Structure 1
Amino acid sequence: MEQDLPTWDDAGAAQVFNDHRRLLTSVAYRVLGRWSDAEDVVQDAWLRWSGSDYTAVEDPKAFLVTVTTRLAIDQLRKAQTRKESYVGPWLPEPVLTRDGADTAPDTADRVVLDDTVSLAMLLVMETLSPLERAVFVLREAFDYSFAEIAAMLDRTEAAVRQLLVRARNHVQDKRPRYPLDDVKRQSIAERFLSACVGGDIAPLLELLSPEITVISDGGGVVTAATRPVVGLDHVSRFLLGIAQKYAKYLDDGMDLRIEIAPVGVNGDPAIIAFADGKVLYVYTLDMDEDGRIRTVFAMANPEKLSGVRALEGDTG
């Protein structure tokens, strides 16, 4: 028996797309690691959807995820070329993920939380090919079947299984673990900020893993370390130097404030610095299994802060 196909007008088609927008953005962001590119991909998916023959689409969700994934793969291939000329370390764009009335719902609710959205995990996924990454995201984050993924990517199920095996082998040893609860993470973030601002190196050293690394992304647009800073001594002095710079901003009369967003950026605690109402830096803290900070992801490139700008103008 043939299935009756939906008959929509333009308004109904727009509603169908908006019902799936959050999912589409979540897929695109994980495949790309750039929030701005993910938004562009979803906009392109809307153009494909709005120009399609709705009456020929049996499963709108599958159609939209397929279009979005394929567009994201194409965009990722182009982005890999851009990264070759990127100045300094490249980091995924941070995205605001915390809940709460003081956060804009259209930003906070666009990314479904799981470990594939953490900055550490997104960075690990940079080692995958575009196809491997798409398969990994669709299977690990969204639990699509091999048959569904094969149809989306126009591959055989056997090819999809092989791609997933390769992706998992690349990711397995590097996949971050998050055994800490939210209360413990916020406590560590608060102590970290207090130690940096207080200028006392002893309590700061207690919070840092011996393998601590700071990775800064300024993209050549703003001043940032062009190489990762590694080791307790180098990192502690680097962080205290940043704190002194913020103190100078205050002395110069700049409207500076710093906010802790617990489990608020890519599912991890983050420290967000504002200057004159604009996001200046986002420091996302990645913890090891012992509850010490193993990586600080410092995003300074203003072109990559659109995912946290919902906080601008929020005086707390």
Structure 2
Amino acid sequence: MQVRQDTAEAIFACHRARIFAVAYRLTGTVSDAEDVVQETWLRWNGIDANEIRTPEAWLITTAGRLGLDHLRRLKARRETYVGPWLPEPIVKNASEIAQPTPEEQMELSDDISIALLHMLERLAPEERTAFLLHEAFDYDYGELASLLDKTEAACRQIVSRARRRVHEARPRFTTNSQDHERLARAFSEALTHQDPAALIACLKPDAVLYSDGGGKAVAALNPIVSADHIERFFTGIRRKFNLPLGARLIEVNGQAGMVLLHKEQILSIVSFDIEADAIAAIYIMRNPDKLSRAGETFGLPLLGL
């Protein structure tokens, strides 16, 4: 007997946030994640849900398969992307930031930070899918074997290889949300007040800046390395375009970040990666395709530059 429509909808609604969480971590953009969520719903709505013993597992597995298929289709496109590719940010006003529990903070910083999602772009689609489902969503190797159509031993190797690459590229540092916010605020104030010394003091000497314009907005085509060069980059923007820059503290993917403004128009969304009480990396999202939702959130237009 087909499960009642309202019951099927209620089950899906109960797990929708988790489905989106899987899809966003896999694809890195809200629109692609929403496509995966919609396709998961269509498949869920087309089966006899009474035959599904564990709906959550079925839904997450389906979203994982769809996300993997999506990653494979995107691979060639991202290889020809103009400049560094950064995820689409999920933003909130600073007034909406609530202090998370230690468990929530760990999930936010490990699962959806711009730093981690950017690093995951280095992994092959199967590596990324296996790593995220195993590390963030507690999938065992048997479940991964079924999803990837591989043996459990092969899945262990894939996860191990991905974990090693992740940890080599981004060692773990313990940074609490208060320290992260303090450094984000200090950097924002230094930028607004045009204080080069204060800005450099926020950065590790070998800090790196990534800027994503996607060929649709002015951005650095290559990473900028060192605190001095990063300071010169921001000074150069101000001088070249004669822009007085304003910076407002916001939440970006669960962590303190900032929105760069010129006359109440959004220039970019900025996220930080913190190591050893200093900013190790700066991620600047400038591609207008990735800023439209931020504009809607803050009720501000994008600056066409």
Q: TM-score, normalised by structure 2?
A: 0.86
Q: Secondary structure at the match of 1:282?
A: strand
Amino acid at match of 2:248: E
Shift of 1:36: 1.7
Q: Which structure 1 residue ranges, 5 or more long, are not aligned?
A: 1-5, 104-108, 251-256
Q: Secondary structure at the match of 1:127?
A: coil
State the partner residue of 2:192: 197
Q: Secondary structure at the match of 2:214?
A: coil
State the partner residue of 2:201: 206
Using the TM superposition, name which of 230-239 and 112-121 deviates more.
112-121
Amino acid at match of 2:249: I
Q: Secondary structure at the match of 1:143?
A: coil
Shift of 1:35: 2.2
* Aligned-partner Cα distance in 2 for 1:102–1:292: 22
Q: Once superposed, what is the RMSD of the aligned Cα atoms?
A: 2.6
1:161 to 150, 156, 160: 156
2:88 to 90, 93, 111: 93
Matches within 5 A, 1:1-316: 8-96=3-91, 101=96, 113-243=108-238, 248=243, 258-261=247-250, 264-274=251-261, 279-289=266-276, 291-305=277-291, 308-309=294-295, 311-313=297-299
The question of whether the paired residues in 2 share the 8 Å contact of 1:268 and 1:286 is answered with: no
* Aligned-partner Cα distance in 2 for 1:25–1:219: 24
Using the TM superposition, name which of 137-146 and 94-103 deviates more.
94-103
* Aligned-partner Cα distance in 2 for 1:34–1:272: 18
Distance 1:176 1:269, change over 3 A: farther
Distance 1:36 1:306, change over 3 A: farther
Shift of 1:277: 6.3
Distance 1:141 1:309, change over 3 A: farther
Q: Secondary structure at the match of 2:121?
A: helix
* Aligned-partner Cα distance in 1 for 2:163–2:281: 22
Distance 1:192 1:101, change over 3 A: closer
The question of whether the paired residues in 1 share the 8 Å contact of 2:268 and 2:286 is answered with: yes
Could you list the per-position Cα deviations for residues 49-103 of structure 1 after superposition, in whole angstroms to 9, with x for gaps in the alignment? Answer: 1122223322211111111111100100111111122111111222237886589
* Aligned-partner Cα distance in 1 for 2:136–2:93: 19
Q: Secondary structure at the match of 1:172?
A: helix
State the partner residue of 1:254: none
Amino acid at match of 1:205: I
Paired residues in the alignment total 293
Using the TM superposition, name which of 139-148 and 172-181 deviates more.
172-181
Q: Which structure 2 residue ranges, 5 or more long, are not aligned?
A: 99-103, 301-305
Amino acid at match of 1:284: S
Determine what percentage of the aligned residue pairs are the same residue: 39
Could you list the per-position Cα deviations for residues 175-195 of structure 1 after superposition, in whole angstroms to 9, with x for gaps in the alignment? Answer: 243422222222211211111
Amino acid at match of 1:149: L
* Aligned-partner Cα distance in 2 for 1:221–1:311: 21
Q: TM-score, normalised by structure 1?
A: 0.83
